[in-house]
Amino acid sequence: MSFPKFLVADNTDLPDAIYIVHTEFPSFILNLEDDEVKWMDDISDEDEGDLTKTLEALIDEAEAFYIREVERYNL
């Protein structure tokens, strides 16, 4: 089964939180309410310099994905 690169998720137990799930390596869940990131993969062995740039870019991409999705719903 294949998944899109990003998924939007929510939960009624935390009604103010919206999550973006990144399904590729390094997989993570971004809580848009407080910008907390939960890494699902072990990234401790990666080169720190390259990893920082990659992770920042992925988080920016996740936020852009969410904005695009919301705009599509509002059409």
**Mean pLDDT across the chain, nearest whole number?**
91
The answer to the question of residue 1 being in a domain is no
The answer to the question of residue 32 being in a domain is yes
The answer to the question of residue 30 being in a domain is yes
Collapsed DSSP state (helix, strand, coil) of residue 33: coil
- Read off the pLDDT of residues 13-46 as tens digits, 9 standing for 90 and up: 999 999 999 999 999 999 999 999 999 988 877 7
The answer to the question of residue 28 being in a domain is yes
Give the residue, 3 or 75, on which the prediction is more confident: 3
Q: How far apart are CA 55 and CA 73, in angstroms?
A: 27
Domain of residue 22: give its range: 6-73
Report whether 26 contacts 47 (CB < 8 A): no
The total number of structural domains in the chain stands at 1
Cα dihedral sign, 73-65-40-27: positive
47-53 average pLDDT score: 79
